[in-house]
Amino acid sequence: MERTRTFSWQDPTIGATEALQMEGIDYLSAMFEGKLPAPPIMHTLDFKMHSIKAGKAVFSFVPQEFHYNPIGSVHGGVISTILDSAMGCTVHSLMPKGKAYTTLELKVNFLKAITKNSGELFTIGKMIYSGRKTALVEAQIVDANGKLFAYGVSTCLIFDVKI
């Protein structure tokens, strides 16, 4: 039986423009509180920012069929995307005004199959190291009981932006 899904999003350049004028934690807090639009990828993959504080970002999602790969589990790209999002926001939460970051390297370990029967999952990003030019960050996907499904680590480049 055919299934359909409809979603909408706001102009992503609104938040991106505002981000340049704000401390990282202030920008992410404004997005979390709905004062600035979330990036479209969050609507596309149906995940949510669960909490944000300096040096830690938590996302949540409920795995659905539209996340599936051809073998009946959540696609590795979806898992990588939510891990990358939590890690990126963790780094972003520590960015002063005038600084930005980009992912240089991303490594993911897929430890347990994720399916629509997995229930709500949480992706917890945590800073390992933040220097002047690079940051090292990790994230894990766990269920409500703390069972580990996937783990990622990322190196990010930190750079100046023109305001």
With a CB cutoff of 8 Å and minimum separation 6, the contacts of 34 are: none
Any domain includes 23:
yes
With a CB cutoff of 8 Å and minimum separation 6, the contacts of 116 are: 62, 63, 64, 65
Distance CA 156, CA 163 (A): 21
The per-residue pLDDT for range 71-107, each reduced to its tens digit, is 999 999 999 999 999 999 999 999 999 999 999 999 9
Name the CA dihedral angle for 154, 157, 162, 163, rounded to a multiple of 10 degrees.
30
With CA atoms as reference, report the closest residue to 90 among 48, 142, 137.
137
pLDDT of res. 112: 97
Any domain includes 19:
yes
Number of domains into which the chain is organized: 1
CATH number of the domain where residue 152 is located? 3.10.129.10
Any domain includes 5:
no
pLDDT of res. 18: 86
| pLDDT-based confidence at residue 31 (cuts at 50, 70, 90) | very high
Domain span holding position 35: 12-160
Distance CA 163, CA 153 (A): 30
Length of the chain: 163
Check whether 26 has a pLDDT greater than 90: yes
